Every structure is written in structure tokens, then in C-alpha cells.
Amino acid sequence: MSESVLKSVLEESTQLEWDRYDNVPEHIFSKKHERSMKRIFMLFEKNRCKFEPHLISKPNHNFRFTKKTVLVLVTIIFLAALAGCAVMYFVSNSFRGKVNNDNTELFVINTENCPSEIEEKYYLSELPEDFEVTDSTSTPFYEYTSYQNNKTQSEQTIVFRQYVKTDLGSVHYNTEGQDLEEVQINEHYGLCLDFSSKGLVFTDVIWDNGDYILEISGDFDKNTLLNLAKSAKVYKE
């Protein structure tokens, strides 16, 4: 969500809140309160004139701090604070996120009609040559499998994860110096982080396949890892 959209939502919400007080009858103060206020203003005027004898105009006491005025001030203060924090929001086809200084917090957009537990397990049907399973974890809400190629000098690794949408909550990704790129995995959409540089080749891809959140990361360039992601299939015994 951009700052302009958020501002528009806040303005609309504030206007709806104001409308509640348009027809509220004016409060009638007691006589005792009026006498007290008169004494306060007289004392204030007397002391003010001692320090500012050139002021001859009387203060205007007709201004009142209404609830509507307070709401305006609160909105202005909130928007100023928001601008000072410089927090950016974005929405993709499958995720919404809050971009902080050095990380991005992701949330799943659509969690309706999705399994509450893992009913179908996914696996990578096309692995590069010489890769073998080195570790795995299985729970009703999470699947984890790591693969490694011990025949290469760098010992390349692939990690494949499967999450239940409602159990995922929010996840943080290091986006300091990198941007999340929206990508397509078969007929679904996801996000990609490419950390590859001269001394490093590493990519992370996360996507919503309709029922689950799938994620693959590994020591490969973006195109290679996207092809591996597209090979994810349901495991059939």
C-alpha cells in the first residue's frame, strides 16, 4: 500500500468519524463553571497587560476545541509521524509487505479455503545431478527438505519448504541492498530475492500455489532456481 493510498484511507476514516459529531448538541456549562472561567480570563488579561502594555485588543474567547478539531490535529500529527518514519508498504499478487530499513515483513494475502494442515506434500521433481537429501523435517503445518551436492567444491545446497498459510504468520526477509521481484511460477505468482554478486550466487523464491506457501532457496542464479520451483509437484505414494 503506497503512502498516498494510506493517506486517502485515513482521510476517509477521519471524515466518517467527524460525521458522528455534526449533530451533537452544544454542551451547556454550569453557572459555577462560567464564573470560574471568567475569573481565570480576567486574571490572565491582567497579567498579560503587565508584560505587553501595547496590546489593547481583547482576546477572543469564542474559539472552542471541539472533538472534530481534536481529530484533525490527531490526523495531522499521525501523518507527520508516518512521514518521519519513512515506512513503505507494497502489495503483490500473493503477498503484502512492510518495507523496513534493512528487512521486509511479508504477509499472505489470501488464506481463505486453504488446508489447516498439510494434506498433500510437495517435492522437487527435477533436481540437478548429484544432489541428495541431507536433512528433512515434517510436521502437520510445515515441511522442510534440504539437498546438497557434495561433489562440488562449494558444496551447493538447495532448501525446499512448504507452509500451511494460516500457520505462516509473517516472515522477514533481508532486503538491505536487494529488492523483492514479482515472478511467475507456472500459473501462480510469487516473489524472488536475488543475492547474487561477484563473490556469491544465491537466490530465494517464495510463492502461493493456491493451497500452500512454497519456498525454495539455493546456491543458484535466479533463472535456474525458478526452473527448480516450477518442478514442484505433489508427492504420490
pLDDT in tens, 173-228: 988 888 899 999 999 999 999 988 767 889 999 999 999 999 999 999 999 999 99
What cell was used for 47?
A: 497579567
Rounded-to-5 percentages of helix, strand, coil across the chain: 30, 30, 40
Phi-psi region of 9 (alpha: psi -120 to 50; beta: other; left: phi over 0): alpha
Please list the alpha-helical segments (H only) found in 117-194: 165-168
Helices (H) and strands (E) in the chain — how many of each?
A: 5, 13
Taking a C-beta distance cutoff of 8 angstroms, is the pair 87, 101 a contact? Answer: no
pLDDT of residue 176: 84
53 pLDDT band (50/70/90 cuts)? very low
Taking a C-beta distance cutoff of 8 angstroms, is the pair 150, 53 a contact? Answer: no
pLDDT at position 62 over 70: no
pLDDT at position 51 over 60: no
Q: Mean pLDDT, to the nearest integer, of 137-141?
A: 95
Please list the alpha-helical segments (H only) found in the chain: 3-19, 31-51, 67-85, 165-168, 222-230
> Which domains are present in the chain?
3-85 (no CATH), 112-234 (3.30.200.100)
Tell me: the pLDDT tens digits for 96-137? 988 888 889 999 999 999 999 999 999 999 999 889 999 999
The answer for residues whose C-beta is within 8 angstroms of residue 162's C-beta and 6 or more apart is 118, 121, 122, 142, 143, 144, 212, 213, 214, 215
Return the ∠ at Cα 225 (arms to 162 and 115), rounded to 5°.
20
Q: Mean pLDDT, to the nearest integer, of 14-21?
A: 64
pTM above 0.95, yes or no: no
pLDDT at position 54 over 50: no
pLDDT of residue 9: 62
The residue type found at 95 is F
